[in-house]
């Protein structure tokens, strides 16, 4: 491989977010200097987002197994058994930063991404939820952010035709500079037809399906490097635009192909699209991968290998097809009018090899990319406990009417109807209960049966801020209670851990405390974590967001003749208070 | 006075609408269509008669509301009529 | 009675419509792909389902309305074939010229999803014969482009000829004269923005939609 | 060759988008905006080089798909580049 000795300067390494010591490991594992494409690949694989380098060791503490767990964390989404051969596949994910930059598209692509995680595994998405945190209502940016985010979530979910059945919305000044947009998707599959990402077998064809690859979302480093910018007059936007129409076609096409036995492995192209999807598939399957980038469907001319590998264009999937089933795959995807191409094959080299314009542009061993990813034990300090409020110190209000008015007019308590009325809650005609009734959890019937899943998302950041451990416990417990309240047996949770900069010990302390508290609740309830996502560095000018471990819970209602809802109370009914 | 504001996606931004339009024109037998882009035109009726001053204000309107400058470009055309 | 549901790319209430038709006819409807050029013989009632055909790009329903199967359905409807379009299906029928007028962006520019009260204007139609005239029903709405518009003359004709079958009591989208659903001159092609197919099940959306299906199915 | 197709609402058709734009501009302090209309521009890339023949085809595209002549007008601009 021809390369100039000086190609990778310390500045370029730094622009790629790799520390000096991380780059040392790259040099050591490769036994040479990487070229720019290879460096880009290491940088995204070892990014916080892909490698969970600050949180991995702590996430490992979570209870992740249980009687009903078919697949815990580690795949695109978690899978649980809901009897009769049915499985529920679900996950929650953040799209915080993109939504702050461009609220409509950021939120929309967040919904698209989480749905792909779910249907990648063979599930038809049946419900969406969203947990939103915004700044103060009178902050100058809040109004635009709220309306953009809500329109984006609705715009995507409504078009794809998956009901958005619930969520939560908070306003707090701690989110003025960093809003949180967490989306959860729940899908339904047959337990014996779940698809995984391990690319098994050598010589099997690799298919690319979905939208063409453009220069979307390729970050900083490329911008700075003139070599990669043909028309430098126009600074390239890093915002990705969602195309729910293509997503809908992808869902239908993938589910149609999944009903045959043509797919060996499948993975959606999320963050760092082609890079992380191909490496994860190869790593899990213990194989190598060779891709011919000339075959990648491209939206723009003159794309470099670097750009193709780092592009975050949306609505794309990578799959390993059984030899002999290529034509079947082409037929299905072409019927659904999707771009499709055979772009490579699995190999026995254990390497990721990329060819572009007949030249080898990348050749790196896969195992270090995945296994040697940094895994830090960042220093963490325990959050100092706050003094407990003494009830006696709080004066009784003189005017209960006024107190009540103040409570119900607070944006956090007030009706969220303005939001959920923009979401199609009824499509698929299995929504039994949703935001509309204000019940504690949404209820979605399993199509054609008399059972249902109950779904909720919860988190009270001010509790977590006061005491991460207790607050973490509370988030999990609240989902448990909300599911129980509608008559469901809680089964498992997903989570989205939104925190500030983990390199600050006090922030790391919040993260560790919350995880440990959540985990205690999980053990107490026998309520495992089956999937999740971590979003760190949510801070502006050194001001971190309130710690926000959003939890999504799923439970089963075995018999729809027995469930509870908020609607239906009549005057004269008896009210009963249970608990302390 | 009138201002015509043309708003379109920046080069490189995915235009799903344009793509879909081009493909369906092809399907309808218009094979000569290679690609399509969809943009917006906003026509504003303005009071006053100082075109230059008005244009500066329209730029402000674009930045504040009419265009989403994260993903869109705009172009302004002023007319006296 | 054999019924059919047309499936366009990004239809998303095709299953909803199929469930409703199966429940009310006891027989699975045919699901017909938009690229087909001819409706199979024996189909007596066609539903254009809701959704976002072609992503609603260009205009809601526009691209779908140009697909091959719609041309065949249009020709057959001129000879009496019963056709109903709900939501995106209604948009497709207007774009295809099978119903007058157009569906524009909701007046407040927002997507709206809620149960909506409607008045059945009269029961002298193939689609409302099972309802009492002037009765009130609740169907869910879920749309972004449901603002029905037609020029004065057309609206005048629709009203005079009794072709407005449903009206909103609390207009959610700015439709002229609160129009929610209309039929063509022949009385055999019907379109509405609300979703009767989402109102056939007490656990989901109520059951007020059943009589609409019963009305039309009975005539076949 | 390029064709620019401008599609706008016919006079007399209520334009909720335009109205909202005008109102929001007023709210933002742009009192000089009396009214706004929102339309579409569709830019087509076409093969061939006979502008006149191409324009006739674009008219057909408008009638068949690009404009809904119940509510919309269109205007075509051909460019050689
Ligand atoms: N962003 C949202 N998306 C969908 N539904 C929401 C959203 N925010 C709130 N809701 C719904 O509004 C209802 C009330 O929410 P909330 O005020 O959080 O009450 P509670 O804390 O009792 O669940 C719930 O049913 C919830 O699902």
Tens-place pLDDT, residues B60-78: 999 999 998 888 999 999 9
The rounded Å distance from CA D66 to ligand 1 centre is: 41
**CB contact B35 to A (< 8 Å):** no
pLDDT of res. A238: 66
**CB contact A214 to B (< 8 Å):** yes
CB A261 within 8 A of CB A299: no
Reported residue count of chain C is 220
The rounded Å distance from CA A419 to ligand 1 centre is: 9
Nearest by CB to residue C57, choosing from B20, B27, B28, is: B20
Mean pLDDT of A373-392: 89
A and D touch with 3+ CB pairs <8 Å, answer no
Residue A454 is inside which H or E element, if any?
Answer: strand A452-458
Mean pLDDT of A313-341: 95
Ligand 1 pocket check for A411: Cβ under 6 Å: no
List all residues 6 or more positions away from A84 whose beta carbon is below 8 Å from its beta carbon: A449, A451
DSSP 3-state assignment of A353? strand
Ligand 1 pocket check for A291: Cβ under 6 Å: no
Cα distance from B53 to chain C (closest Cα, Å)?
A: 31
Indicate if C197 belongs to the active site: yes
pLDDT at A144 over 60: yes
pLDDT at A235 over 60: no
pLDDT band (50, 70, 90) for residue A6: low
Mean pLDDT of A183-199: 96
Residue with CA at minimum distance from ligand 1 atom 11: A435
**Among C56, B30, C53, CA closest to D63:** B30
**CB contact D20 to C (< 8 Å):** yes
pLDDT band (50, 70, 90) for residue A169: very high
Integer CA distances (angstroms), A405 to A398, A400, A402, B20, in order: 13, 8, 5, 51
Residue A44 is inside which H or E element, if any?
Answer: helix A36-45
Count helices and strands in chain A by DSSP H and E runs = 19, 21
**CB contact B10 to A (< 8 Å):** yes
Choose from D71, D73, D74 for mutation: most chain C CBs within 10 A.
D71
- Phi, psi values for residue D29, rounded to 5°: 100, 5
**Strand positions, DSSP E, A59-176:** 69-71, 78-81, 86-94, 124-134, 164-171
User: Is B43 in contact with D64 (Cβ distance < 8 A)?
Assistant: no
Residue C104, CB-side half-sphere exposure with 13 Å CA sphere: 26
Mean pLDDT of the residues in chain A: 91
pLDDT at A170 over 70: yes
Q: Alpha-carbon distance A175 to A489, whole Å?
A: 34
A 10 A CB-CB count for A206 gives 26
pLDDT, tens digit (0-9, with 9 covering 90-100), for C24-49: 999 999 999 999 999 999 999 999 99
pLDDT, tens digit (0-9, with 9 covering 90-100), for A21-72: 999 999 999 999 999 999 999 998 998 888 899 999 999 999 999 999 999 9
Catalytic residue among A16, A58, A95, A380: A95
Most distant pair of Cα atoms in chain C: their distance: 43
pLDDT, tens digit (0-9, with 9 covering 90-100), for C145-155: 999 999 999 99
The rounded Å distance from CA A543 to ligand 1 centre is: 27
**CB contact C58 to B (< 8 Å):** yes
CB A287 within 8 A of CB A346: yes
**CB contact A360 to C (< 8 Å):** no
Residue of C nearest to B36 (CA): C58
Q: Dig out the tokens for A62 from the structure.
A: 């979570």
Query: Which residues of chain A neighbour B15 with C-beta distances below 8 Å?
Result: 241
pLDDT, tens digit (0-9, with 9 covering 90-100), for D16-59: 899 999 999 999 999 999 999 999 999 999 999 999 999 999 99
DSSP letters, A312-345, are --SSEEEEEE-TT-HHHHHHHHHHTT-EEEEEEE
pLDDT at A4 over 80: no
Q: Alpha-carbon distance C127 to C187, whole Å?
A: 8
A 10 A CB-CB count for B50 gives 10
Query: Which residues of chain B neighbour D68 with C-beta distances below 8 Å?
Result: none
- The chains in contact with chain B, meaning 3 or more Cβ pairs closer than 8 Å, are A, C, D
Q: Which domain holds residue C33?
A: 2-217
Cα distance from B31 to chain C (closest Cα, Å)?
A: 16
Choose from A100, A230, A237, A335 for mutation: most chain B CBs within 10 A.
A237
**Best residue among A147, A416, A439, A460 to mutate for probing ligand 1, ranked by most atoms within 8 Å of CB:** A416
pLDDT at A230 over 90: no
Burial class (CB in 10 A: 0-12, 13-18, 19+), A576: exposed
Rounded to the nearest angstrom, the gap between the alpha carbon of residue A391 and the centroid of all alpha carbons in its chain is 40
The rounded Å distance from CA A168 to ligand 1 centre is: 4
pLDDT at A220 over 50: no
pLDDT of res. D12: 84
A 10 A CB-CB count for A451 gives 15
CATH code of the domain covering residue C157: 3.40.50.880
Cα distance from B44 to chain A (closest Cα, Å)?
A: 22
The sign of the CA dihedral A506, A512, A515, A518 is negative
Ligand 1 pocket check for A204: Cβ under 6 Å: no
**CB contact A213 to B (< 8 Å):** no
CB A37 within 8 A of CB A60: no
pLDDT band (50, 70, 90) for residue A5: low
Q: Alpha-carbon distance C73 to A267, whole Å?
A: 40
User: Is C58 in contact with B16 (Cβ distance < 8 A)?
Assistant: no
**CB contact B15 to A (< 8 Å):** yes
Q: Dig out the tokens for A412 from the structure.
A: 């956090």
Residue B53 is inside which H or E element, if any?
Answer: helix B51-61
Nearest by CB to residue A423, choosing from C10, C113, C201, is: C113
pLDDT of res. D30: 95
User: Is A337 in contact with B23 (Cβ distance < 8 A)?
Assistant: yes
Q: Dig out the tokens for D2 from the structure.
A: 């390029």
Cα distance from C127 to chain A (closest Cα, Å)?
A: 22
Nearest by CB to residue B71, choosing from A215, A237, A246, is: A237
DSSP letters, A210-249, are ESPB-STT--HHHHH-GGG-S-TTSPPP-PPPP-HHHHHH
Tell me what percent of the residues of chain A surpass a pLDDT of 70: 96
Q: Helices (DSSP H) in D6-70: which residue ranges?
A: 16-27, 51-61
List all residues 6 or more positions away from B52 whose beta carbon is below 8 Å from its beta carbon: none
Q: Alpha-carbon distance A321 to A267, whole Å?
A: 12
pLDDT at A293 over 70: yes
Nearest by CB to residue B28, choosing from C55, C57, C66, is: C66
Question: What domain count does chain C have?
Answer: 1
pLDDT of res. A237: 54
User: Is B70 in contact with A299 (Cβ distance < 8 A)?
Assistant: no
Ligand 1 pocket check for A435: Cβ under 6 Å: yes
The crossing angle, in degrees rounded to 10, of helices C14-25 and C210-218 is: 60
User: Is A241 in contact with B11 (Cβ distance < 8 A)?
Assistant: no
Catalytic residue among C34, C87, C116, C143: C87
User: Is B6 in contact with D40 (Cβ distance < 8 A)?
Assistant: no
User: Is D42 in contact with B8 (Cβ distance < 8 A)?
Assistant: no
Quickly tell me which residue has 């809701």 as its tokens: C50
Indicate if A95 belongs to the active site: yes
**What structural domains and CATH numbers belong to chain D?**
2-79 (3.30.1280.10)
**Best residue among A158, A435, A454 to mutate for probing ligand 1, ranked by most atoms within 8 Å of CB:** A435
Mean pLDDT of B29-45: 96
pLDDT of res. D16: 87
The rounded Å distance from CA A535 to ligand 1 centre is: 22
- Phi, psi values for residue A314, rounded to 5°: -90, 175
pLDDT band (50, 70, 90) for residue A1: very low
DSSP letters, chain C, are -EEEEEE-TTB-SHHHHHHHHHHHHSSPPEEEETT-SSPPTTEEEEEE--B-GGGG-SSTTHHHHTSHHHHHHHHHHTTT-EEEEETHHHHHHHHTTSSSSEEE--TTSS-EEEEEEEEE--S-STTTTTSPTT-EEEEEEEESS-EEE--HHHHHHHHHTT-EEEEESS-SS--GGGEEEEE-TTS-EEEESS-GGGSSBTTBBBSTTHHHHHHHHHT-
DSSP letters, A551-572, are EEEEEEES-TTS---STT--TT
> What's the CA angle centered on A198, arms A283 and A362, to 5 degrees?
40
**Best residue among A129, A149, A169, A433 to mutate for probing ligand 1, ranked by most atoms within 8 Å of CB:** A169
Integer CA distances (angstroms), B48 to B57, C117, D34, D37, in order: 12, 47, 11, 19
**CB contact D21 to C (< 8 Å):** no
Q: How many A/C residue pairs have CB atoms within 8 Å?
A: 91
DSSP 3-state assignment of A428? coil
Residues β-bridged to residue A557: A452
Q: Helices (DSSP H) in A259-381: which residue ranges?
A: 273-285, 305-310, 326-335, 366-371
pLDDT at A159 over 80: yes
Q: Dig out the tokens for C142 from the structure.
A: 């879920």
User: Is A102 in contact with B20 (Cβ distance < 8 A)?
Assistant: no
pLDDT band (50, 70, 90) for residue A17: confident
D and C touch with 3+ CB pairs <8 Å, answer yes
Burial class (CB in 10 A: 0-12, 13-18, 19+), A288: buried
CB A353 within 8 A of CB A288: yes
Give the number of the atom of ligand 1 that is nearest the alpha carbon of residue A423: 4
Q: Alpha-carbon distance A344 to C208, whole Å?
A: 54
CB C141 within 8 A of CB C86: no
Ligand 1 pocket check for A132: Cβ under 6 Å: yes
């Amino acid at each position: 491989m021809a390369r100039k000795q000086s190609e990778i300067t310390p500045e370029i390494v730094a622009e790629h977010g790799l520390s000096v010591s991380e780059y040392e490991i790259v040099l050591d594992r490769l036994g040479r200097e990487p070229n720019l494409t290879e460096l880009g690949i290491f940088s995204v694989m070892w990014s916080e987002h892909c490698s969970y380098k600050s949180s991995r060791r702590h996430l490992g503490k979570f209870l992740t197994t249980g009687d009903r767990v078919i697949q815990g964390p580690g795949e695109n989404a978690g899978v649980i058994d809901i009897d009769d051969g049915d499985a529920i596949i679900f996950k929650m994910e953040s799209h915080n930063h993109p939504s702050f930059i461009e609220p409509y598209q950021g939120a929309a692509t967040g919904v698209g991404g989480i749905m792909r995680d779910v249907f990648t595994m063979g599930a038809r998405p049946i419900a969406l939820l969203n947990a939103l945190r915004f700044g103060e209502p009178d902050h100058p940016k809040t109004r635009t952010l709220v309306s953009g985010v809500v329109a984006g979530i609705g715009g995507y979910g409504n078009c794809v035709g998956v009901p958005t059945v619930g969520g939560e919305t908070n306003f707090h000044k701690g989110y003025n500079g960093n809003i949180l947009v967490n989306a959860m998707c729940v899908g339904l599959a047959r337990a014996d037809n779940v698809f995984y990402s391990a690319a098994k077998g050598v010589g099997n064809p690799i298919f690319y399906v979905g939208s063409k690859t453009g220069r979307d979302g390729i970050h900083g480093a490329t911008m700075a490097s003139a070599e990669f910018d043909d028309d430098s007059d126009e600074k390239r936007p890093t915002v990705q635009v969602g195309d729910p129409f293509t997503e809908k076609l992808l869902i239908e096409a993938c589910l149609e192909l999944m009903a045959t036995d043509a797919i060996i492995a499948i993975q959606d192209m999320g963050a760092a699209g082609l890079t992380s999807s191909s490496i994860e598939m190869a790593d899990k399957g213990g194989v190598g991968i060779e891709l011919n980038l000339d075959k990648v469907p491209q939206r723009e001319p003159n794309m470099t290998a670097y750009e193709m590998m780092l592009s975050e264009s949306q609505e794309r999937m990578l799959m390993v097809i059984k030899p002999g089933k290529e034509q079947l795959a082409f037929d299905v995807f072409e019927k659904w009018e999707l771009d499709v191409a055979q772009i490579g094959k699995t190999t026995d080299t254990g390497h990721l090899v990329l060819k572009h314009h007949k030249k080898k542009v990348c050749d790196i061993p896969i195992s270090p990319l995945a296994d040697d990813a940094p895994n830090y034990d960042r220093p963490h300090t325990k959050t100092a406990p706050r003094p407990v409020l003494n009830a006696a110190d709080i004066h009784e209000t003189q005017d209960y009417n006024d107190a009540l008015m103040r409570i119900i007019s607070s944006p956090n308590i007030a009706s969220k109807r303005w939001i959920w009325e923009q979401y199609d809650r009824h499509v698929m005609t299995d929504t039994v209960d949703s935001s509309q009734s204000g019940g504690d959890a949404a209820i979605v019937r399993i199509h054609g049966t008399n059972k249902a899943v109950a779904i909720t998302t919860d988190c009270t950041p001010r509790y977590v801020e006061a005491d991460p451990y207790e607050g973490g416990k509370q988030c999990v417990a609240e989902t448990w209670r909300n599911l129980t309240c509608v008559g469901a047996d809680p089964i498992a949770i997903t989570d989205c851990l939104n925190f500030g900069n983990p390199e600050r010990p006090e922030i790391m302390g919040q993260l560790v405390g919350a995880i440990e508290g959540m985990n205690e609740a999980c053990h107490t309830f026998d309520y495992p974590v089956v999937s999740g996502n971590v979003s760190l560095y949510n801070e502006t000018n050194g001001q971190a967001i309130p710690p926000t471990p959003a939890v999504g819970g799923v439970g089963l209602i075995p018999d729809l003749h027995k469930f509870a809802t908020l609607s239906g109370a009549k005057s004269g009914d008896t009210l009963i208070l249970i608990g302390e | 006075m009138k201002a015509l504001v043309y708003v379109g996606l920046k080069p490189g931004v995915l235009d799903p609408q344009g793509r879909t339009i081009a493909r369906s024109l092809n399907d309808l037998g218009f094979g000569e269509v290679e690609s399509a882009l969809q943009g917006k035109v906003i026509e504003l009726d303005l009071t006053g008669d100082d075109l230059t001053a008005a244009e500066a204000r329209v730029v402000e309107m674009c930045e504040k509301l009419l265009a989403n400058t994260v993903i869109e470009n705009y172009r302004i055309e002023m007319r006296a009529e | 009675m054999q019924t059919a549901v047309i499936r366009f790319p990004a239809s998303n209430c095709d299953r909803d419509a199929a469930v409703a038709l199966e429940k009310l006819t006891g027989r699975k409807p045919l699901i017909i792909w938009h690229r087909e050029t001819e409706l199979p013989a024996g189909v007596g009632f066609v539903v254009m389902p809701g959704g976002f055909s072609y992503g609603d790009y260009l205009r809601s329903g526009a691209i779908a309305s140009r697909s091959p199967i719609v041309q065949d359905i249009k020709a057959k409807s001129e000879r009496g074939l019963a056709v109903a379009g709900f939501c995106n299906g209604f948009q497709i029928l207007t774009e295809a010229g099978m119903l007058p007028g157009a569906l524009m962006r909701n007046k407040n520019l927002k997507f709206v999803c809620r149960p909506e009260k409607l008045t059945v204007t009269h029961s002298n139609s193939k689609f409302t014969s099972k309802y009492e005239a002037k009765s009130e029903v609740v169907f869910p709405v879920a749309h972004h482009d449901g603002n029905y518009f037609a020029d004065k003359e057309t609206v005048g004709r629709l009203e005079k000829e009794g072709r407005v079958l449903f009206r909103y009591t609390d207009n959610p989208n700015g439709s002229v004269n609160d129009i929610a659903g209309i039929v063509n001159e022949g009385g055999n092609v019907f379109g509405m923005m609300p979703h009767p197919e989402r109102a056939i099940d007490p656990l989901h959306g109520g059951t007020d939609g059943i009589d609409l299906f019963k009305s039309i199915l009975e005539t076949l």
